[in-house]
Amino acid sequence: MKGSSIDFLLALLERGYDKKSWHGPNLRGSIRRVDAATSARRPATGRHNIWEIVVHCAYWKYAVRRRLLGEKRGSFPSKGSNWFARPVVGGNEAWTRDLEMLEEMHRGLREAVAGLSPADLSAVPPGSKVNNWETIAGIAAHDVYHAGQIQLLKRLV
């Protein structure tokens, strides 16, 4: 692939999230045509459902963007961090809102990465143990990891 490290990382983000890839469904592909009822089913008591995984992915896109830009905590649309109990009241409407939130968090992350300079990639943000390059590559892998989980959950529930 020709281009900069930024272009490479943007391509990783897109392939993990919504661009066609050889590895099978990406995160958006794994939730395509999943309705609220299916997303809310749990494989077992105390286990996360598809809906919770979707919001978890949105949260970590937000967290990575925040780290890259040096923003403070507190602007994620839902209260809490990491895992958020779902379903919430609202069924299909609430599911649609959370899907839109995932999309919004992805766009924000993508814009943050596109705005970095190549020199920014080696920086380690305050409170982090890894540099920006590793963080961005990691969030792309995070999408693929959870896409696989969702594919399995769809078959279990």
| Domain with 93 in it | 5-156
Question: Which 8-state DSSP code applies to residue 73?
Answer: S
Which tens digit of pLDDT belongs to each residue from 97-126? Answer: 999 999 999 999 999 999 999 999 999 988
Place of tokens 């209260």: 79
How much is the pLDDT for 141? 97
Comparison of pLDDT for 88 and 60, the residue scoring more: 60
CA-CA-CA-CA dihedral for 99, 7, 148, 142, to nearest 10: -80
Q: Is the pTM of this model over 0.75?
A: yes
CA distance 50 to 151: 9
Residue 89: CATH number of its domain: 1.20.120.450
User: What are the tokens at 95?
Assistant: 């599911």
SS3 of residue 48 by DSSP: coil
User: Which residues have C-beta within 8 Å of that of residue 135, sequence separation ≥ 6?
Assistant: 64, 67, 68, 125, 128
Q: How many domains does the chain have?
A: 1
| pLDDT cut 70: percent of the chain above it | 96
Q: How confident is the model at residue 1 (pLDDT cuts 50, 70, 90)?
A: very low
